[in-house]
Amino acid sequence: MTGTLTLLRLALRRDRVLLPAWIVVIVGVVVASASAIAELYPQAGQRIALGVTIGAAPALQALTGPVFDASSVGGLTAWRGVAMTSVLAALMSLLTVIRHTRAEEETGRAELVGACAVGRHALAASAVLLAAAANLLIALLITVGLAGQGLPPAGALAFGLAVGGTGWVFTGVALLAAQLTEHARTARAIAAAALGLAFLLRALGDAAKVEMLAWLSPLGWAQRMRAFAGERWWVVALFAVAGAVLVAAAALVARRRDLGSGLVPARPGVTEAAPSLRSPMALAWRLQRGVLLGWSVGFAVVGLLFGALARSVGDIVGDNPQLAAILAAMGGAGALTDTFLAAELGLLGLVAGAYAVQATLRLQGEEAALRAEPVLATAVARRRWILSHLVMALGGSAMVLAAGGLAAGIAHGLRIGDPFGQGGRMLGAALVQVPATWTLAGIAMLLFGLLPRLTVLAWVALLAFALLGQLGELLQLADWVRDLSPFAHVPRALGQPLDLGPLLWLGAVTAALLLAGMTAFQRRDVQGG
């Protein structure tokens, strides 16, 4: 472990902007939500009314988790805030850990460092310390921020620990993932898939009211700490132990492998290229097909699960006379199922936005890794090279959405005896999300062309759109602010005739962004070593 502290200082220096930005966003969202809720819903009666509406929409619960206490400002803040910010803390932790471990090994910088008087596990230890410190700081700041607004300190502390604790567990998840593969990209994919699975288990558990499922997920623990609603303090131990076990497991795996290698040795390849590998498009397909397949399978699984659940959503509510009244006003059980399915598709659209961003930014990855240079030094025009990866980004995001929609429709259709009809209907509804996802590809492309060093802003945009979608209504943000997100313009596709207008102009905006980005790239220098 010699050298851990020196490496920690180096990591802090490298992350001096990024990490504080994460912390500010996470803490800021929590504190701003609490103060907005206190201001917008000052009477307990208003808050309870809001809670009942939420209770009537299990679709919403799938996304945000159950409301344990709608009567207090703290309870409402926790309902909305814990689910969202614990996902953010998990993301922050897994990106930070992989950035400072596997990514360092992949670039060979770890070798440079490892040759110095530095212990074998110092790099991993420094990354874990960094992530742990960031999560602790988040817990502390949330506690202080919420208590500072006059909310009960115990609830504030539980809220902070729930968010920081989730981050700690995913610190361990990421460290383990970083030991398994040679490439940071794959390690990130594994850790992100684990986060997706955690979200899925929690969402299914909450939507179907199966507590057991939710308890399988760290995101479920975060909510079940019941901040501001009779705190369960022992959950803190669950976080601590789970994170520690994962870190220990990672250490065990690390002992069995060499620096730079994964657990599974790379397999030899073929000696000659297939005849089809002869165009930039074929190369882009080759580079991105694995990722696309993974995403498609993931979307199909999510679609199947939620589709299978959709009908039960109507049943659960049907038992409650008070809710049944609200339900009838909303258009009956069928409408409720549609609301649920539409909410699920909205979520898938947002996640498909992440696919579009990462597939577009492959361009930047290839350029920064100096792999664009040899291709562009052959008879491949810059436009063709760009288009090859854009086809993967645009076609791919449509494909994953189609997989999710089709699977949801078929699963739902099988339960109500109409698999083909529902499959087609949901496929169409899923594809309605496509133009909004493409807009994100457009933003990423524009950044790549104009500001290749700042492509991370595409992720910031996605995060901002997600927060606007999640919080905009509750916080009663001005319409124009909420309208900044392309997802705010996606028309309702289920249960009413489709409004094509927004789709067309979203498509036009996207085309303009793509074109501008492509033109900018054709005029700029290709970055060198």
Partner 1 sequence: MANTPAVLISGLTKHYGTVRALDGLDLTVRTGEVHGFLGPNGSGKTTTLRILLGLLRAGSGHAELLGGDPWRDAVELHRRLAYVPGDVVLWPSLSGGEAIDLLGRLRGGLDPRRKAALLERFDLDPGRKGRAYSKGNRQKVALIAALASDVELLLLDEPTSGLDPLMEAVFREVIGEERARGRTVLLSSHVLSEVEALCDQVTIIRDGRAVQTGTLAELRHLTRITISAELERAPDGLAGLAGVHDLIAEGPRVRCQVDGEHLQAVLRVLTDAGVRTLTCQPATLEELFLRHYQVAA
Contacting residues toward partner 1, per CB under 8 A: 182-183, 260, 266-273, 277-280, 283, 286-287, 290, 369-371, 373-381, 523-526, 528-529
Query: Which C-beta is closer to partner 1: that of 64 or that of 101?
Result: 101
Query: Which C-beta is closer to partner 1: that of 179 or that of 485?
Result: 179
- Please report how close the Cβ of residue 110 comes to partner 1 at its closest, in angstroms: 14
- Please report how close the Cβ of residue 179 comes to partner 1 at its closest, in angstroms: 16
- Please report how close the Cβ of residue 262 comes to partner 1 at its closest, in angstroms: 10
Query: Which C-beta is closer to partner 1: that of 282 or that of 324?
Result: 282
Q: Are 175 and 250 in contact (CB under 8 A)?
A: yes
Query: Which C-beta is closer to partner 1: that of 416 or that of 526?
Result: 526
- Please report how close the Cβ of residue 115 comes to partner 1 at its closest, in angstroms: 16
Query: Which C-beta is closer to partner 1: that of 112 or that of 277?
Result: 277
Q: Are 383 and 518 in contact (CB under 8 A)?
A: yes
**Tokens matching residue 396:** 């791919």
- Please report how close the Cβ of residue 105 comes to partner 1 at its closest, in angstroms: 11
Query: Which C-beta is closer to partner 1: that of 16 or that of 371?
Result: 371
**Tokens matching residue 199:** 């979200």
- Please report how close the Cβ of residue 258 comes to partner 1 at its closest, in angstroms: 12
Query: Which C-beta is closer to partner 1: that of 321 or that of 529?
Result: 529
Q: How far apart are CA 212 and CA 488, in angstroms?
A: 34
Q: How far is CA 411 from CA 120, 188, 429, 521, in A?
A: 50, 30, 15, 44
- Please report how close the Cβ of residue 527 comes to partner 1 at its closest, in angstroms: 9
Enter the DSSP assignment of 486: G
Concatenating the DSSP letter of every residue in 184-226 gives HHHHHHHHHHHHHHHHHHHHHHHHTT-HHHHHTSHHHHHHHT-
Phi, psi of 405 (to 5 degrees): -65, -45
- Please report how close the Cβ of residue 266 comes to partner 1 at its closest, in angstroms: 5
Nearest to 436 by CA among 403, 410, 408, 469: 469
Q: How far apart are CA 50 and CA 341, in angstroms?
A: 22
Query: Which C-beta is closer to partner 1: that of 4 or that of 186?
Result: 186
Who contacts 34 (Cβ-Cβ below 8 Å, separation ≥6)? 73, 74, 77, 81, 145, 146, 149, 151
- Please report how close the Cβ of residue 523 comes to partner 1 at its closest, in angstroms: 8
Instruction: Tell me which H or E stretch contains 63.
Output: helix 58-64
Task: Give the CA angle between residues 516, 520, 524 to the nearest 5°.
Answer: 175
- Please report how close the Cβ of residue 393 comes to partner 1 at its closest, in angstroms: 18
- Please report how close the Cβ of residue 287 comes to partner 1 at its closest, in angstroms: 7
- Please report how close the Cβ of residue 340 comes to partner 1 at its closest, in angstroms: 39
Q: How far is CA 333 from CA 186, 310, 312, in A?
A: 42, 10, 10
What residue spans of 362-499 are helical by DSSP H? 362-368, 372-376, 382-416, 419-431, 434-450, 456-471, 479-482
What residue spans of 101-183 are helical by DSSP H? 102-107, 109-114, 122-148, 153-180
Who contacts 456 (Cβ-Cβ below 8 Å, separation ≥6)? none
Query: Which C-beta is closer to partner 1: that of 98 or that of 474?
Result: 98
Q: How far is CA 172 from CA 88, 142, 225, 240, in A?
A: 15, 22, 20, 10
Query: Which C-beta is closer to partner 1: that of 9 or that of 453?
Result: 453
Query: Which C-beta is closer to partner 1: that of 276 or that of 320?
Result: 276
Query: Which C-beta is closer to partner 1: that of 43 or that of 378?
Result: 378
Q: How far apart are CA 25 and CA 37, in angstroms?
A: 18
